[in-house]
Chains A and B, each alone.
Chain A
Amino acid sequence: QSVLTQPPSVSAAPGQKVTISCSGSSSNIGNNYVSWYQQLPGTAPKLLIYDNNKRPSGIPDRFSGSKSGTAATLGITGLQTGDEADYYCGTWDSSLSAVVFGGGTKLTVL
């Protein structure tokens, strides 16, 4: 059971938009920055979003992040088949003194 809650799967058609939610509590998302990672099959995670809504160099603006209260959201527009991957949210949990991740969301581009 993960500390952060994500939907197990989401799907959308190519070109469409999808959002992935990440729910936590005041000890984690509510008072700390959220990051998002993309993990393609058989590869290491890749940072997509950090500090709630910032994109590292090289990440297209099709990817966006937001946070409100104890929940965060990853948005992906203009879906491509290459976006099919597992997506994870992560943050610091002040009560656990640990980095915590969501259980991951599998994105299918139909």
Chain B
Amino acid sequence: QVQLVQSGAEVKKPGASVKVSCKASGYTFTSYDINWVRQATGQGLEWMGWMNPNSGNTGYAQKFQGRVTMTRNTSISTAYMELSSLRSEDTAVYYCASLGGRGWYFDLWGRGTLVTVSS
């Protein structure tokens, strides 16, 4: 079925990097942008950026510029989000989302990956 399957929970130390994967199935991976949205515990949704799986083009929220990198491997229909220089405030659930349209909406979400940053 149509789904996004994310990698498992991670625990990282401050200053380290984390790379979260998001494997698409049930639809043409290269036809829809992959977006990444994070949510700290008890907080709202925060958009991090988008990636076009076909071209590899990306766009990042200003807050994450220089710290986030979104890539993909089209041969295995998988998108990646790497966040570097982690700090405690980066502790959150990270979601990949897709199947949107020109209106910047997301009709398909992964189940989320909990990233915990702790010394």
Residues of A within 8 A of B (CB): 2, 32-33, 35, 37, 43-47, 50-51, 56, 88, 90-92, 96-104
Contacts and interface: CB of A to CB of B under 8 A. Distances in A.
The secondary structure that dominates the B interface is loop
B109 A99 contact: no
Given A35-B104, A98-B47, A103-B44, A44 B62 contact: no
A104 B62 contact: no
Given A96-B62, A101-B46, A104-B44, 15 more contacts: A33-B102, A35-B103, A35-B104, A35-B105, A35-B106, A44-B110, A47-B105, A50-B103, A51-B103, A88-B44, A90-B47, A91-B104, A96-B61, A98-B62, A103-B44
20 contacts: A33-B102, A35-B104, A35-B105, A44-B95, A44-B110, A44-B111, A45-B109, A47-B107, A50-B100, A51-B101, A51-B103, A56-B107, A88-B45, A90-B47, A90-B104, A92-B103, A97-B59, A98-B47, A99-B47, A102-B44
A32 B104 CA distance: 9
B111 to A, nearest CB: 6
Nearest to A97: B59
Interface string B56-81: 00010110000000000000000000
Interface of B: 35, 37, 44-47, 50, 59, 61-62, 95, 97, 100-107, 109-112
A44 B112 contact: yes
B35 A99 contact: yes
Contacts of A33: 102-105
Given A44-B95, A44-B109, A45-B109, A101 B104 contact: no
Contact of B105 (A2, A43, A50, A98): A50
B105 A90 contact: yes
Contacts of A101: 44-47
Given A44-B109, A44-B110, A99-B35, A50 B62 contact: no
